């Protein structure tokens, strides 16, 4: 029991990130509305970015911007004093790519609405079936 409690105390934040990821994942699969699916995709992406940023965190460390002494003297920099900047760099790219993907997905949703008049997936499928049936 003590072991389990210790495990929970050490890992609870990863578990909460996974819960958030699964919320977004469920929305992408199970929701019928296209805009809800797109919002679920964005939730999934930001949850993964959150997970990466949490990897780079170090205990009692400060932000990765070094203090620049005005006379140019460089003090020795210990890497353990600063938060790991590498996940931040990768996730900056990920955030901007995710907003680009969101823009393209919303453009596609607007186009689908212009063609079929609805954003619900089952209604779109029915209207597509009617169109195909009336064409043959």
The footprint of other proteins on residues 101-120 (CB under 8 A) is 101-104, 106-111, 113-114, 118-120
- Residue 50: DSSP 8-state: H
Say whether residue 128 binds other proteins (CB under 8 A). no
The tokens describing 66, both together, are 């070094």
Size of the site for other proteins (CB under 8 A): 86
CB of 133 to other proteins, least distance (A): 23
**Burial class of residue 34 in the structure, from the number of CB atoms within 10 Å of its CB (0-12 exposed, 13-18 middle, 19+ buried):** buried
Site for other proteins in 2-41 (CB under 8 A): 7, 10-16, 18-27, 29-33, 35-36, 38-40
d(CA 113, CA 56): 42
The one among 1, 65, 73, 133 contacting other proteins by CB under 8 A: 65
Q: Does 42 help bind other proteins (rule: CB under 8 A)?
A: yes
Burial of 44 (0-12, 13-18, 19+ CB in 10 A): buried
Binding status of residue 66 toward other proteins by CB under 8 A: yes
127 binds other proteins (CB under 8 A): no
**Least distance in Å: CB of 131 to other proteins?**
20
Residue 68 vs 134, nearer CB to other proteins: 68
Tokens of 25: 């994942």
SS (H, E, C) 92-110: HHHHHHHHHHHHHHHHHHH
């Amino acid at each position: 029991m003590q072991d389990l409690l210790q495990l929970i105390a050490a890992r609870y934040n990863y578990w909460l990130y996974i819960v958030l990821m699964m919320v977004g994942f469920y929305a992408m699969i199970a929701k019928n509305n296209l805009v809800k699916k797109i919002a679920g995709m964005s939730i999934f992406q930001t949850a993964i970015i959150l997970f990466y940023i949490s990897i780079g965190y170090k205990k009692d460390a400060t932000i990765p911007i070094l203090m620049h002494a005005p006379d140019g003297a460089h003090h020795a920099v210990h890497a353990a004093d600063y938060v790991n900047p590498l996940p931040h760099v990768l996730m900056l790219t990920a955030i901007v790519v995710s907003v680009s993907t969101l823009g393209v997905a919303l453009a596609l949703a607007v186009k689908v609405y212009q063609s079929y008049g609805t954003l619900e997936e089952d209604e779109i499928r029915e209207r597509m079936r009617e169109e195909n049936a009336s064409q043959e």
